[in-house]
Chain A
Amino acid sequence: MLDIIVLVKQVPDVKKVKFDRERGVIDRKSAPNELNPFDLNALEAAVQIKEELGEDAAKITALSMGPDMAEDSLKEALARGADEAILLSAREFAGSDTWATSLVLSTAIKKLADYDLILAGEKTVDGDTGQVGPQIAEFLDIFHAAYVSEIKKLDNDNHNIQVISELWQSSFLKTLDFPCLLTVTKEINDPRLPSIKDKVQARKAEITKWDYSALSDYIAAEEIGIKGSPTRIKNIEVAPAIEREGEVWRDGYEKANEKICELLQEKQLLGGE
């Protein structure tokens, strides 16, 4: 049995969300939540692996740290093919930076004990760091491959996986032994939509919830949440807007193109390379 863990996070819909300038945080109530779009690709990759290996040959566990309402995102993960979902939710976890988040998640993974492959998204649309994946790999002391755009081959007998990792303007074929962690890009696949039937079923499904007591044997409360986070937001400023000429030609492009030519000449960009 191949044990796959997919890390998923509930995030606000960034197109709609408002920012609480006083507190320097996103006002989560201002927008509906969704499953981080990059994590959908990680989940789809897991589902495809399972389809290839066969229903009984792999198990997918979706793991998330977040507030209680993140249950919705985990239900979506179940609808999209996860077999089990675990939500790490506790007051003690709130306010975690990437250090504390990856400590909590990696501790939960250690507690799960059985894991061969961990899949994470390239980044979250709210945190936007892409750090949590590689940091979990370091906490677990396992190898990781980043910017994975393709899974070439999974060799269950030899317990390894071959992937394409996009680094240095190049594509590298990497072979990693299990257990290992992959962060995947949006290129890796097109996540399928869950069927209505799966959605209905998932809505009724139970989400396993772990609060701090589930991890308290392994980590002290001071190590996590706001207290345990080494990085602190001191203040925020509104980014200065970039001034633009804003000249628009609505009828006819001839004049506009002449202007562009002048501009290119002025900037000495007409020489080619």
Chain B
Amino acid sequence: MDKEKASGILVFAEERKGDVHNVAYELLNKAQELKEDLDCEVASAVLSSQKLDYSELIYRGADKVYCIEDEKFASPEENYYKKNLLKITNAFNPEILLLGATGFGRSLAPRLAIALETGLTADCVDLQIDEESNKLIQIRPAFSGNILAHIKTEGLPQMATIRYKEFTEAPRDTSRSGEIIKLEPTEGEIEVGIEKIEERAKDITEAKIIIAGGQGLKQPQDLDILQDLADKLGGMVGASRDIVDEGYISHAHQVGYSGARVKPKIYIACGISGATQHIVGMKEADIIIAINKDPSAPIFNVADYGIVGDLYEVVPDLIAKIEDCM
């Protein structure tokens, strides 16, 4: 990179089986806003294992799309991704480089940052341009989300990973035009053996409704009650760590600090006490409903609607009432 001449915002668009992860469209939207202060170009970088319609990224706000096509990108190997992204970074020479804080993004970005000899701010929830210095202010929660730290990077590019669902997706404007630039993949093989052995159909971070269960459930089969409610509403079942640890349900369903951070329209917590580590994962849901026997359970402090009661009575009644409404 030629850091002296660095300019523009580069957004990494993570491809998954022919689609771009939505967080890229959110970042492109934010980039439009930052671009107004900086008067610069917005570009998107895609490493794709198959042909994509790159114009989609232009419709969503990219002035340039840099793409490298290579079957090897079907395997999430950070070092190989890093080498190829370096190629794009060198070609575009950005002053700001943004990646979604997906699991893969959080594993890839640190390697890239060291290779680019720059700092990296993890898990940002907002970005601003400092009026005086024109530098990027990266805002990230700290201390269990009670505090927001404003961070600046000395040196270039200013790099950050940004959480999913913090910004709205860029609107699709098919009248926009831009340039698509294809680069060749770097040479060499992936030196890590990689084989996919399991794929989960649904991603809990995408669910609009989550019915979550905790230790209030007496046995694994009782999750069926929650699944039943989730099915009625087209939602997914979530879980506290304690019941994941006990093998009630897989880790993919765990909500919280060491699980997924979710932002559904409705989150119904059933038999969950509301430990800080659980709350950090769901406190940004639009509406939170809590069902718990214990009136002093901390989950009620973050709930819009709380029901003090036995989930084994409350949930079946709720299901019956919903059926009546449908």
Q: Which residues of A contact B307 (CB under 8 A)?
A: 248-249, 253, 256-257
The residue of chain A having its C-beta at the shortest distance from the C-beta of B14 within the complex is A168
CA of A265 to CA of B321, assembled, Å: 12
Q: A187–B109 Cα gap in the complex (Å)?
A: 23
A-side contacts of B142, CB under 8 Å = 128, 236
Among B36-44, B110-118, B181-189, the one that faces the other chain is B110-118
Judging by beta carbons under 8 Å apart, are A171 and B304 in contact?
Answer: no
Asked if B152 is at the interface of the complex by the 8 Å CB criterion, the answer is yes
Chain A, range 144-184, C-beta contacts under 8 Å to B? 144-147, 149, 162, 164-177, 183
CB of B13 to closest CB in A, whole Å: 14
B35 within 8 A of A: no
- Complex interface: chain A residues within 8 A of B118 (CB): 99, 230
A14 to B101, CA, bound (A): 23
At the interface, yes or no: B317 with Cβ under 8 Å from chain A?
Answer: yes
Q: How many A-B residue pairs have CB under 8 A?
A: 259
Is there an interface contact between A172 and B194, defined as CB atoms closer than 8 Å?
yes
In the complex, which residues of chain A have a beta carbon less than 8 angstroms from the beta carbon of B265? Answer: 267, 269
Q: Quick one: CB contact mask for A239-273 with B, threshold 8 Å, 1 for yes?
A: 10010111111111110111111011101011111
- What is the size category of the interface that chain B forms with chain A? 35 or more
A97–B119 CB distance below 8 A: yes
Q: Does B51 contact A (CB under 8 A)?
A: no
Chain B binding site: helix, strand, loop or mixed by DSSP?
mixed
Closest to B284 in A: A242
> What residues on B are CB-neighbors of A258 within 8 Å?
321
Judging by beta carbons under 8 Å apart, are A99 and B197 in contact? Answer: no
Main secondary structure on A side of the interface with B: mixed
A139 within 8 A of B: yes
Query: Interface code B164-208, partner A: CB below 8 Å = 1, 0 otherwise?
Result: 000000000000000000000000000111111111100100001
Q: Are B200 and A135 in contact (CB under 8 A)?
A: no
Q: Is A233 an interface residue (CB 8 A)?
A: yes
B103's partner among A97, A147, A164, A271 (CB-CB below 8 A) is A147
Shortest beta-carbon distance, A104 to chain B, in Å?
A: 13
* B95 interface hit (Cβ, 8 Å): no
Is B239 close to A, CB under 8 A? no
Q: How many residues of A contact B (CB 8 A)?
A: 88
Q: Does A29 contact B (CB under 8 A)?
A: no
Query: Is B150 in contact with A234, judged by CB distance below 8 angstroms?
Result: yes
Q: A249–B313 Cα gap in the complex (Å)? A: 14
**A120, B196: Cα distance in complex, Å:** 23
A44 at interface by CB-CB < 8 Å: no
Closest to A243 in B: B304
Give Cα A244–Cα B149 distance, bound, in whole angstroms.
24
Q: Which of B123, B191, B258 contacts A185 (CB 8 A)?
A: B258
Can you name the residue of chain A whose Cβ is closest to the Cβ of B209? A269
Tell me the B116-141 residues at the A interface (CB within 8 Å).
118-123, 137-138, 141
Asked if B91 lies at the interface with its beta carbon under 8 angstroms from chain A, I say: no
Chain A positions within 8 Å of B276 at CB level: 14-15
Is A236 within 8 A of B148, CB to CB?
yes
Chain A residues closer than 8 Å to B233, beta-carbon distance: 264, 269-270, 272
Asked if A225 lies at the interface with its beta carbon under 8 angstroms from chain B, I say no
Please name the residue on chain A nearest to B206 by beta carbon.
Answer: A169
Q: How far is the CA of A186 from the CA of B152 in the complex (A)?
A: 31
The A-contacting residues of B in range 74-122, CB under 8 angstroms, are 75-79, 82, 103-104, 106-111, 113-115, 118-122
Least CB distance from A236 to B in Å reads 5
Residues A234 and B137 in contact, CB atoms below 8 Å apart = yes
Q: In the complex, are the beta carbons of A131 and B110 less than 8 A apart?
A: yes
Q: Does B16 contact A (CB under 8 A)?
A: yes
Shortest 7 CB-CB contacts between residues of A and residues of B: A230-B119, A273-B234, A175-B193, A146-B107, A129-B122, A231-B119, A134-B110
Mind listing 7 A-B residue pairs with CB under 8 Å? A15-B276, A128-B122, A134-B110, A135-B111, A166-B251, A269-B208, A272-B234
Which chain A residues have a beta carbon within 8 Å of chain B's beta carbons?
14-15, 17, 19, 21, 24, 26, 38, 97-99, 102, 122, 128-135, 137-139, 143-147, 149, 162, 164-177, 183, 185-187, 190, 229-239, 242, 244-254, 256-261, 263-265, 267, 269-273
